Amino acid sequence: MIDEIIRKGTVSAKELRQLENAYHAPEGCVRILDATFVLPGSPEKPQENFNAHRIPGARFFDIEKIADPASLLPHTVPTKDVFEAGLSALGINPEDLVVLYGQHGMTMGPCRVWWTFRLFGHDRVCVLDGGLPEWIRQAGRLETEPPLPCAPSQYRVKKVRNELLVKRDDVAAAMESGLCPILDARPRARFEGNAAEPRPGMLSGHIPGSLCMPASELVDPETGTLKLDEELKNLLLQTGFDPDHPDARKTITTCGSGITACVIALALFRQGFDKIAVYDGSWAEWGQENSGNKIACGT
């Protein structure tokens, strides 16, 4: 079961309950991380929510803190040293199976951290399908007492998959060539330039030639779980994405700040595309006022 979970990138609440009860093998433990992220201006306080109730044994992965401290962009992918220090403080070992969940589902945070783990070569990682709401619906237990401190580890990265990360110049080259699909996970109104960005100082619109694939459309509206493989395939086809095109495996995903872009990356991972790159700076970099980047509006 473990290999299948890793292959598809997600674990159901039912499967996690089985792992919670049975999987404490010598080759690694199940480590559950709350990877919730909220947009700027949100009244939600993920750390406080985590302290109040969580999946038993869970630890909190702070996307804002386990990030590159030198970057001027929000929650930029951490350096190798920062990633190692963050996972060591959480007591994670390279052989552990890491399960990531979100307090409100799976789109805001967990997929981003899943991608980050894979970037740093940790393949034993998956996202709880539907997040905490689905766990509760499936009668999963919760802890409500204050979280206990965890014993630190000495986590070391064995390899870095640089092909999973692209920067502005890579995106500009892909835009100009038109050969590499660029999929944007932001809501359609923001993509078309009809809604303001949540961060100040940002223009509206999208990268010319990019395709609109809102992350919210990839999950079931009732359960919050990732849609079935055939549904995902059809959604991607409707955007104009051709999975059979030779350059489909070079696809770049983008969003507001590199969070929901990883939902598309996970959906494509489920379709067999395991080297999809994420534009880490995303619109927080591309759409800055006076950036000089080309911007399109409309469909």
Annotated catalytic residues are 255
With H, G, I as helix, E, B as strand and everything else as coil, classify residue 264: helix
Distance CA 270, CA 264 (A): 10
Q: Which residues 6+ apart lie within 8 Å of 92 measured at CB?
A: 31, 98, 153, 155
Residue 105 dihedral angles phi and psi, to the nearest 5°: 135, -150
Q: Can you list the positions of beta strands (E) in the chain? A: 10-11, 24-25, 28-34, 59-60, 97-101, 125-128, 165-166, 182-184, 211-212, 252-254, 277-279
Output the CA–CA distances (angstroms, integers) from residue 70 to 74, 77, 82, 96, in the order listed.
10, 11, 11, 29
Evaluate whether 215 touches 264 at the Cβ level (below 8 Å): yes
